[in-house]
Structures are given as C-alpha cells and as structure tokens.
C-alpha cells in the first residue's frame, strides 16, 4: 500500500465528513435566522448534553473495529461486528434511560426550564444514534472507504434535514426533536440492512473472552474519549452554568471549528491507525515516521492558511454568516482559531492508538479535564464570557505537547526531528506573508461578501505559488488534486 493510496483514502473520508459538516454549518446559518438567541441556545444545549455524555456509552467500541477487524477472518468478523452492535445497543438504552430520568435535574443545573420538556422527547435519540456510530468504522476497517464516505454523507444529510426543515417551517422545538429521533431510527435500520450484505449476515455469538479482549483495548481509549469530550465541552458547560441561554448562543456560535478542520484530523487518524498498526507490528518505525511527517505536511497546508485568514477576517466572516446579532461571537471565534496549530501535534495520538498504548491518552484526558475546570472558572472571573475560550485554547496547546512526549520514545527520534519543524514554520511564514498582503483590503471594501471573496482569492493566489516554489506544496499533491477534480467532473 503506497502513501498515495493512503492519501486518496484520507481524501475520501474527508470529503464524506466535509460535506456532512458543511451541511451542519449551513444549517446553523439558517437556524439563527428562524430562532431567537434563547431558542438557539436551548437547541444547542440539547446536543451539547448528548455530545458530552455519548462517549461514556460508546466506550470507543467503534474505534476498536479499526484495530481488530483487519486482524480477523470472515467468520470472526461477523461475530465481532455483531457483538459490537449489541454492546452499543445496550449503551444506547442506558443513555436513553439516564436522559429521561435526569431531564429535570439537567434543566435545573443549566437553569433552563425548557430542557425539562425537550430532553424526555430527545431521550430516545441515543438508542438509535449510539449503535449508528459503528458503521463508519466498520466500512473503513473492511477497506470500503468510498462506502464509508457515502454513508457519512447520507447520514449527515438525513440527520440535519430532520431538524432544519421543521425549524424552517416554524415548528416548535418539541416537534423538531420528535422528527429528529424518528430520522435516527430510520437511519439505523437502513444501515443494519445495508451492512448485512458486506458481512454476508450477522452472527449473534457473545463470547466473554472476545468481549473482554475488545473492552481491554476499547475501555482505556473510551475513557480517554469520555474525559476528552468532557474537557472539550467544559467551556460550553461552564457558559451554560454561569450565563443565560441567549449568551450561550453567542458563545456557541463563536466556539466552533471550521468544518474542514476537525474532519482533516479525524480522516487522517482513521486511515493512519490501521496502517500504523500493521507497520508497528513489523517494528517498521522508520516508515511510520515517514508517513506521519507526510501527513503533517499535508495537514499544515490546509490548517495553517485557514488559521491565518480567518484570524484576520473573523468579524466580517461571523457577521456575514450569522448576522450582526452575533458580532460578539467573532472574538471567541478568533480565540478558538489558536487551537489549530495544536492539531498538528495531536495527530501523534494515532501512533499511540496503533501501538495499543492507550493508557497515556486516558491519563492525558484526565489531566486535561482536571486542569480545564479551574482554568475556566478563573478566566470567567477575570474576563467574563470569552474566558472559557481562552482556557480551552491554552489546555489544547498543552495537550498536544503531552501527546508528543509519549510518542517520541515509540519512534525513537529526538525532539528536533520529532516533527517536520522546518516545513511547518515555512508554511506558517508563507501564511503570515499572505495575510499581511491582503489585510489592507479590509480598509478598502465595505461589502462583507466582496471583502471575504476578494481577500480569499488574493490570499490563495499568493499562498499556493509560494508553497509550490519552496517545495511545501509538491507536484504529486497537484497531480492528486487534478485527478480528484477530473473524477468529480466525470461523475457529474
């Protein structure tokens, strides 16, 4: 398997997730025009609760498929995947029960009475959404990357339309969440029917030894995900505790990563974990480092330009998309952008997962959460609403350094060679230069859409030629882009 093949698989997953995330991002742009800030805050709090707690019931069981499925025979794969689905059904059932019974307490905790009515309706959602998480990892583990991307798009499209359409029609949030739950049930049923043909049937056989083996891998990684999600959402939870839903909406609109950002890292990790797993089993750390550094170079070419451009044009960007009502979200958005450089180091987590050494991830997530809570409280006291964003950015930068600390003994490289530092700084400098050149446009153009489109085009016209001349962007990258564009044209 060549690096180009890995790159193409990564792009497939990125495109699938990107389209889904773009739909979600566009849906938020629509929602803020139909709901009041209080309703937007309430809507986002419902999904905040689900997203924060769901890793507790997922326990990284979907991620364990990436590790185990490539190592199993056909018969064992049928058993293992069926076992995973049944365990996730159990987790979803427990989650639904907890949400139903805890609705009143959560509403009181967030000081939002609307949640006491909405959460019981939404409580069936985890029963269907938790098992659904397994299918993406399943198709990736079966080397069906195109299928995984297509299913990701369909799943995101149906899920988003299930709340976007009723909101656009002026339906109350109670009806919106009822439709969303129904759509999740239909999606899960569809995936069960479709994926059955890939495995040539399901085999219901629960082996305690198999469950124990799976959980021994998944639980440390799952606990790490739980703590990581709790830490990631600490700022949003703190804002919900200390500020009313309308101000939470202001914060939530700003405290977001651009759709492409998280997708790049998620897709890269999904592809690299199974590849690194086989290479580390052969003790081929040299190839692991080569592939990892290539992934960082390509990731930098995407993340660092986004960081530089949006940091400069955050205010027109936010107000154009979400209206002047959310102008205060721009500063929070700028703070969140500083987490992008941390993403480059956090990719090292793929090496830890592939090596089976998930304990450092668990410990790191614990430290992340323990430090994040007091830091959030301190910055709320010092600067108010933007405080949690500052605390979260600081913790994420420290988290990337922590991961790299545990990666370097595995790949036996000194700090000076642990990352492709020269390449990262080269790309960063080119981004800075491009941003400085386009900055005066903000003084010349008043129309937000003309400013953003003109500045974006000029930024790219400066950035790409320089990266090509300096070797940061390579000919094989351009050839790959051309091939994908030609495929897109042919497909259309």
DSSP string across 103-169:
HHHHHHHTT-THHHHHHHHHTTHHHHHHHHTHHHHHHHHTT-HHHHHHHHHHHHHHHHHHHHHHHHT
Q: How confident is the model at residue 491 (pLDDT cuts 50, 70, 90)?
A: very low
For residue 396, give every residue at least 6 positions away whose Cβ sits within 8 Å of its Cβ, in sequence order, or none. Answer: 339, 342, 346
> What local confidence, expressed as pLDDT, does residue 489 receive?
44
Q: Which residue has the higher pLDDT, 457 or 207?
A: 457
Instruction: Please tell me the least confidently modeled range out of 58-62, 177-181, 335-339, 481-485.
Output: 481-485
Length of the chain: 492
Token readout for 312 is 């400069």
Do both 400 and 424 map to the same domain? yes
In this predicted model, what pLDDT tens digit does every residue of 84-93 receive, in sequence order? Answer: 888 898 999 9
DSSP single-letter state for residue 365? H
User: Rounded CA gap, 317 and 307, in Å?
Assistant: 13
The answer on pLDDT for 1 being more than 50 is no
Do both 203 and 154 map to the same domain? yes
Q: How confident is the model at residue 225 (pLDDT cuts 50, 70, 90)?
A: confident
User: Rounded CA gap, 401 and 345, in Å?
Assistant: 7
Q: How confident is the model at residue 233 (pLDDT cuts 50, 70, 90)?
A: confident
Do both 186 and 168 map to the same domain? yes
The answer on pLDDT for 341 being more than 60 is yes
Q: Does the residue 19 lie in any domain?
A: no
> In the chain, how many H helices and how many E strands?
25, 0
Domain boundary among 188, 205, 232: 232
For residue 282, give every residue at least 6 positions away whose Cβ sits within 8 Å of its Cβ, in sequence order, or none. Answer: none
Do both 204 and 351 map to the same domain? no
Average pLDDT score over residue span 147-153: 78
Domain span holding position 437: 234-492
Q: Does the residue 9 lie in any domain?
A: no
> What local confidence, expressed as pLDDT, does residue 492 receive?
43
Do both 316 and 464 map to the same domain? yes
Q: Does the residue 394 lie in any domain?
A: yes
Kind plus residue range of the DSSP H or E element containing 91: helix 74-109
The answer on pLDDT for 75 being more than 80 is no
Q: How confident is the model at residue 239 (pLDDT cuts 50, 70, 90)?
A: very high
Do both 181 and 309 map to the same domain? no
What domain count does the chain have? 2
Do both 228 and 282 map to the same domain? no
Q: Which residue has the higher pLDDT, 293 or 487?
A: 293
Q: Does the residue 6 lie in any domain?
A: no
Of residues 170, 220, 141, 452, the one with CA closest to residue 321: 452
Do both 358 and 435 map to the same domain? yes
Tokens 């742009």 belong to 29
> What local confidence, expressed as pLDDT, does residue 313 receive?
93
The answer on pLDDT for 30 being more than 60 is yes
Of residues 44, 40, 30, 41, the one with CA closest to residue 169: 30
How many CA atoms does the CB half-sphere of 463 hold within 13 Å? 24
Do both 482 and 350 map to the same domain? yes
User: Rounded CA gap, 162 and 331, in Å?
Assistant: 31
User: Rounded CA gap, 301 and 293, in Å?
Assistant: 13
Q: Does the residue 14 lie in any domain?
A: no
Do both 305 and 316 map to the same domain? yes
Q: Does the residue 385 lie in any domain?
A: yes
């Amino acid at each position: 398997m060549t690096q180009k093949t890995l790159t193409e698989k990564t792009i497939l997953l990125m495109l699938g997730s990107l389209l889904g995330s773009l739909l979600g991002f566009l849906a938020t742009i629509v929602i803020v025009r139909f709901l009041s800030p209080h309703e937007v805050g309430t809507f986002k709090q419902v999904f905040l609760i689900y997203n924060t707690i769901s890793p507790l019931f997922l326990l990284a069981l979907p991620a364990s498929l990436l590790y185990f499925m490539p190592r199993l025979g056909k018969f064992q794969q049928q058993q293992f995947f069926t076992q995973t689905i049944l365990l996730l059904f159990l987790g979803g059932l427990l989650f639904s029960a907890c949400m139903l019974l805890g609705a009143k307490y959560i509403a009181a905790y967030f000081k939002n009475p609307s949640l006491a009515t909405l959460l019981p309706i939404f409580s069936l959602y985890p029963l269907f959404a938790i098992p659904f998480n397994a299918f993406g990892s399943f198709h990736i583990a079966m080397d069906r990357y195109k299928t995984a991307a297509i299913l990701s798009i369909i799943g995101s499209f149906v899920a988003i339309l299930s709340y976007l359409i009723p909101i656009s029609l002026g339906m109350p949030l109670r009806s919106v969440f009822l439709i969303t739950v129904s759509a999740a049930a239909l999606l899960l049923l569809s995936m069960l029917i479709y994926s059955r043909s890939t495995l040539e049937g399901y085999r219901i056989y629960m082996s305690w030894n198999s469950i124990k083996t799976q959980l021994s891998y998944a639980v440390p990684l799952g606990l790490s995900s739980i703590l990581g999600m709790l830490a990631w959402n600490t700022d949003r939870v703190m804002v919900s505790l200390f500020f009313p839903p309308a101000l939470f909406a202001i914060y939530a609109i700003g405290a977001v990563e651009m759709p492409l950002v998280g997708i790049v890292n998620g897709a890269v990790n999904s592809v690299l974990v199974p590849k690194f797993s086989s290479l580390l089993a052969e003790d081929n750390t040299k190839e692991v480092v080569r592939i990892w550094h290539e992934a960082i170079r390509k990731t930098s070419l995407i993340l660092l330009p986004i960081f530089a451009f949006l940091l400069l044009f955050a205010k027109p960007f936010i107000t154009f998309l979400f209206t002047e009502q959310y102008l205060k979200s721009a500063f929070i958005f700028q703070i969140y952008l500083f987490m992008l450089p941390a993403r480059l180091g956090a990719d090292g987590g793929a090496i830890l997962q592939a090596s089976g050494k998930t304990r450092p991830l668990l410990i790191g997530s614990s430290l992340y959460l323990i430090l994040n809570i007091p830091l959030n409280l301190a910055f709320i006291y010092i600067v108010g609403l933007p405080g949690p964003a500052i605390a979260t950015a600081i913790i994420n930068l420290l988290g990337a350094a922590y991961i790299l600390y545990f990666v370097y003994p595995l790949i036996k490289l000194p700090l000076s060679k642990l990352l492709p530092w020269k390449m990262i700084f080269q790309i960063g400098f080119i981004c800075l230069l491009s941003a400085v050149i386009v900055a005066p446009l903000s003084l010349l153009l008043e129309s937000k859409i003309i400013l953003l489109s003109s500045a974006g085009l000029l930024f790219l016209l400066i950035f790409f030629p320089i990266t090509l001349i300096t070797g940061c962007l390579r000919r094989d990258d351009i050839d790959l882009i051309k091939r994908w564009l030609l495929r897109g044209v042919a497909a259309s």
